[in-house]
Amino acid sequence: MAIKKSGGLGRGLGSILPDIDLEVAQGNTVAAAISSVPLDKIVANPFQPRKEFDNEALEELAQSIRQQGVITPITVRRMPDGTYQLIAGERRFRASQLAGLTEIPAYVRVATDTQMMEMALVENIQRENLNAMEVALAYKALIEECRLTHDQLSERVGKNRSTITNYLRLLNLPAETQLALSTDKISMAHARALINVEDIDRHLEILHAIIDRHLSVHQTEQMVKTAKKAPVAPVRRRGELPSAHAAAQSRLKDYLQSVVEIKRSQRGKGTLTISFNSDSDFERILALLEKK
C-alpha cells in the first residue's frame, strides 16, 4: 500500500505535483515513496540551477549529518536503468557523501522532465540559497522551458510579480556587471541602480567605483543620477589626444600636405610639430601658414 504524503515539501513543490500517493512503479510492484536510497545509485540533476557550492558550508552540514543524520529527505525520481535522479536536496546529498554515508532518506517521485525541472528550480529558489544571477536565470528557465506566464511563476514561487520582474531585468546587465553580482562584489541593490545607466562606458565606470571605493547603494544612486543629467565625456586612453586636438591635427596635415604631430599633457600643455623636407618645403609651409 502506498504511503500518503504526511509532510509538505513546500508550497511550490506541492503546486507542481498535486497531493498524490508518494509511490513509484518498480516492475510490477509498488514501493513506498519514502525510503533509503543508496548514494551510489543517485545521479546529478541536469536542471540544477545552483552552479557553486560553498565547501566550508558543505563540511559543516556533513558534520551535522554525522551527529544527527539527514533530517529532511532529499527528493529523487527513479530512472528506467535503476538509478535515481536527484530532484531536490543536492547540498544534503553532497554533504552525506562527505559524511561517509552509504544511504540517504529520499522521497521517490513520479515526474516528467518538465516537472522535474520546475521542482528543482522552485525548491532552490524557495530555500534562498542562490545568488541573484542564479535566481534570475532560474526564473528565465521556468518561464521559457515550462512555458509559464509571470503570474503563474509568481504563484509557483510565492513571490510578487514585481520581484520577479526585478530579477529578470538583471539579465539585461553587461556581462561584467553580471559577473560582479554573481561573485558578490556588488549587491542586487547596486545592480538595480546600475540598470538605469545605458551608456556602457559610464556604466562600467560606476561599477568599478562601487568595487574599488566600496560605495554604498545610496552613493551609487547619486552617481547614477549625476550620470543621467550630465553628458558623459568619452573615456581616453593614456596619451590619446582629445577629439578636438585630433581633428585639428588631421586638418593641418591635409592643409599643409606635411607630417603634423600634436602632443598634449593631461594638464593641457603640449607641442605642435610640423615637419619639412627641404628649405623650399619650409618656405612653402611658411607661406601657407602666413596666408592662413
Grid cell 543517485 — which residue?
A: 42
Cβ 78 vs Cβ 31: under 8 Å: no
Using the 8-state DSSP alphabet, how is residue 170 labeled?
G
- To the nearest 5 percent, what fractions of the chain are helix, strand and coil? 50, 15, 35
Q: What single letter denotes the amino acid at residue 124?
A: N
Exposure string for 26-49, b = 16+ CB within 10 A, e = fewer: eeeeeeebbbebebeebeebebbb
Residue 247 CB burial class (10 angstroms; 0-12, 13-18, ≥19)? exposed
3 state SS of 248? helix
3 state SS of 63? helix
Cα–Cα distance for residue pair 218/189, rounded to 1 Å: 9
Query: Of 52, 56, 60, 90, which is the active-site residue?
Result: 90
Q: Is the dihedral of CA 207, 208, 209, 214 positive or negative?
A: positive
> Catalytic annotation on 90?
yes
- Residues marked active site are found at 90
